[in-house]
Amino acid sequence: MSQKENIVLLNGKYVSWKDARIHVSTHGLLYGSGVFEGIRGYQDRSKAQVNIFRLREHVERIYRNASILRLKPPVTADEFSDGIVEVVRRNGFQTDVYIRPMIYFGEGGIGIKPKGHSTDYFIFATEFGNYFGEPRPLNVCVSSWVRGTNNSMPPSAKISGSYVNSMLASVDAMEAGFDEALMLTHNGYVSEGSGENVFIVKGGKLITPPVSADILEGITRDSVMRLAADSGIQVIERDISRTELYTCDEMFLCGTAAQITPVGSVDRRTISNGAAGEITSRLMRAFESAARGAEKRYADWLTPVYE
Instruction: Delimit the domains of the chain by residue range.
Output: 3-127, 138-291
What's the predicted TM-score (pTM) here? 0.95
Give which of 277, 304, 274 is closest to 292, Cα–Cα. 304
CA 6 to chain centre: 22
**Catalytic residue (choose from 13, 158, 202, 296):** 158
158 is known as an active-site residue = yes
- Write the single-letter amino acid at 91: N
Which class does domain 3-127 fall in?
alpha beta
Rounded Cα gap, residues 263 and 67, in angstroms: 35
Q: How is 189-223 classified by DSSP, letter by letter?
A: BEEEESSSEEEEEETTEEEE--GGGT----HHHHH
> What pLDDT was estimated at residue 2?
56
> What pLDDT was estimated at residue 150?
87
pLDDT tens for each residue of the chain, 307 residues long: 457 789 999 999 999 999 999 999 999 999 999 999 999 999 998 888 999 999 999 999 999 999 999 999 999 999 999 999 999 999 999 999 999 999 999 999 889 999 999 999 999 999 998 899 888 999 999 999 999 998 888 888 999 999 999 999 999 999 999 999 999 999 999 999 999 999 999 999 999 999 999 999 999 999 999 999 999 999 999 999 999 999 999 999 999 999 999 999 999 999 999 999 999 999 999 999 999 999 999 999 999 999 8
Rounded Cα gap, residues 70 and 125, in angstroms: 26
Rounded Cα gap, residues 218 and 104, in angstroms: 21
- Could you say which DSSP state residue 275 is in? S
Just give the CATH number of 138-291: 3.20.10.10
Name 302's bridge partners.
Answer: 53
> What pLDDT was estimated at residue 307?
83
